[in-house]
Structure formats: C-alpha cells, structure tokens
C-alpha cells in the first residue's frame, strides 16, 4: 500500500478538523434551536396557563384571607362587647355593695330607731316619680307612714302595707299623702321648723314652708326631718335649700329644696320608725 506523503497527511488532518468543527457547530445550532423552542413554549405556557392559574389562586387566597380577617374582627368585636358587659356588671355590683355598706353604717349609727332593710322590687316607668314597691311588709314589721331612706337621705313614706311587700309614696310625687315635718339648724344654734308641701316638677325641687316666716335662711342650708310629723325619727336628711322666695312684707313665702342626689335611682332602702313603732 502506498504511504501518504506529507501533504496528504496535512490535508487529511485539516479535513478531519473541519468535519469536527462542523459537527460541533451543527450540535450547537440544534441546541440553540431547541432552547429557542423550549423558551417560546415556556413563555406561552406561563402566559396562557400558569400565570392565569396563579392569579386565580392569588384571588382565592386573598379572599380567604379577607374572610378569615372578617371572622377575626367579628370575634374581637364580640370579645370587646362581652368585656364591656362584664365591666358594666362589675360596676353595677360595686355600686350596690357601696350602697349596702353605707346603709349598714346608717343602721349602726342609731340604736333607738326601728330599722328594716329591704330592696326595691318594682318601679314602673309610668309612675317613676310617684311610687316604688319594696320587699318588706307587715310580716317584717312595716307600718304605714314609716320613713323610707337611702344611704343619702329620705325618699318617701310608706303608704300601703301588705304581708311581704309595701308601697312607698315618693317625695317626688305630685301629691304627698302627708306633709313631711322638717327642720333647719341656723348659725346661732337655733332651729326653725316647717313642712315639705309638694314637689315642683318643673324645677325638680321640693316646696317648703316655714312656721316662722321671718327666720334668717340662706341657700345651702341642710333640711332634715324634725320627727314631729309622723311615725319616723328626726335628723334624716331631706335636701338642701336652693332658693328663698319672699312676699311684699319680706317674709318668707316659699323655700325651694333640692332633693338628695340618688333619689332618681336606688336599689336598697331602710324603712325607719320610732322605737315603739
């Protein structure tokens, strides 16, 4: 066999190199075309399928989050409402306890007076300023015309007695069953007396008249029971003088008395009578 000369060997090597380069380039071109095709399909798949599905998924996810947020807000609002309710109940019970403690002090302060503790069981809106029903009656020793007071002072007189309940005519009623005998202590140590005659619904104050019309009375003076008008003791606060009206002779015609502060709202009372009541 004839051997290749030097030129033939060189040409053979060049041809082999060219063929190898051609194969490499063809492979790269096919890979590039494949990559381009893959990229185009990827974009189409993402744009038409994956992205819409992801968007829909995000919408449902956001809706679910909003729904959970709504549930959380409803739960928090309910918890807040319950907290407010508990606070109101706590404050109400606290006020009742304070009222009972003050009434206990009233009972302990006087041993000569007959006292019967009870609670208000009925106060109709239609007769709010007229009467209340309390949880003590003849069985507990209640009698008509006994004085009824809160921790602050007098609120009315017993008008009707039943076995276990009694009806109290309030001082704020339009027509008092009896005038309430009262007194005031003056600066010089003397005492003047009078009666609570009626309640002025326009002023929300009592009308009081004195037996001594030329007495020296000033606003701010305390008015208390005198103990001479019925089956109840003296010294129970009724209210405070707010205004003095005089006639042409400078004599006192009418004194207006502001009631005790809690007369419109009270739960517990003490019914008071003289020792032999």
Identify whether the C-beta of residue 147 lies closer than 8 Å to the C-beta of residue 176: no
Q: How far apart are CA 208 and CA 254, in angstroms?
A: 6
Q: What is the CATH number of domain 113-277?
A: 2.40.10.340
Check residue 33 and give its pLDDT.
47
- 116 three-class SS: strand
Closest by CA to 229, choosing from 269, 196, 192, is: 196
Closest by CA to 191, choosing from 144, 224, 233, is: 224
Phi, psi of 179 (to 5 degrees): -65, 140
Check residue 82 and give its pLDDT.
73
Phi, psi of 261 (to 5 degrees): -70, -30
Check residue 119 and give its pLDDT.
93
Q: How far apart are CA 196 and CA 223, in angstroms?
A: 10
Angle at 239 between CA 236 and CA 244, to 5 degrees: 130
Find the distance separating the first CA and the last CA of the chain, reported in whole Å: 158
Interacting residues of 172 by C-beta distance below 8 A, sequence separation 6+: 129, 130, 199, 259, 263
Check residue 49 and give its pLDDT.
66
Check residue 80 and give its pLDDT.
76
Strands 205-210 and 222-225: unpaired
Burial class (CB in 10 A: 0-12, 13-18, 19+), 35: exposed
Domain spans of the chain?
113-277
Check residue 1 and give its pLDDT.
44
Interacting residues of 204 by C-beta distance below 8 A, sequence separation 6+: 258, 259
Identify whether the C-beta of residue 155 lies closer than 8 Å to the C-beta of residue 134: no
Q: In this predicted model, what pLDDT tens digit does every residue of 166-208 receive, in sequence order?
A: 999 999 987 776 788 999 988 778 889 999 989 998 999 999 9
- List of the chain residues with pLDDT < 70: 1-10, 16-18, 20-53, 57, 59-60, 63, 86, 90-92, 108-111, 177, 250, 275-277
């Amino acid at each position: 066999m004839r051997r290749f000369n030097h030129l033939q060997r060189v040409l053979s090597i060049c041809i082999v190199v060219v063929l190898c380069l051609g194969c490499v380039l063809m492979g790269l071109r096919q890979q590039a075309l494949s990559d381009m095709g893959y990229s185009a399909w990827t974009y189409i798949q993402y744009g038409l399928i994956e992205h819409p599905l992801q968007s829909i998924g995000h919408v449902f996810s956001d809706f679910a989050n909003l729904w959970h947020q709504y549930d959380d807000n409803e739960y928090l609002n309910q918890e807040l409402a319950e907290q407010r309710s508990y606070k109101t109940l706590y404050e109400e019970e606290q006020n009742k306890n304070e009222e009972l403690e003050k009434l206990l002090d009233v009972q302990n302060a006087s041993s000569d007076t007959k006292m019967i503790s009870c609670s208000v069981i009925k106060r109709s809106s239609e007769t709010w300023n007229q009467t209340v029903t309390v949880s003590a009656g003849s069985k507990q020793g209640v009698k008509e015309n006994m004085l009824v007071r809160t921790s602050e002072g007098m609120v009315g007189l017993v008008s009707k007695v039943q076995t276990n309940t009694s009806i109290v005519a309030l001082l704020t009623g339009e027509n008092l069953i009896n005038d309430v005998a009262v007194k005031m202590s003056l600066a010089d140590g003397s005492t003047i007396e009078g009666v609570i005659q009626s309640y002025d619904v326009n002023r929300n104050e009592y009308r009081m008249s004195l037996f001594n019309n030329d007495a020296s009375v000033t606003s701010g003076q305390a008015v208390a029971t005198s103990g001479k008008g019925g089956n109840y003791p003296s010294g129970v606060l009724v209210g405070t003088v707010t205004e003095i009206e005089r006639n042409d002779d400078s004599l006192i015609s009418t004194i207006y008395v502001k009631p005790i502060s809690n007369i419109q709202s009270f739960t517990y009372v003490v019914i008071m009578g003289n020792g032999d009541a």
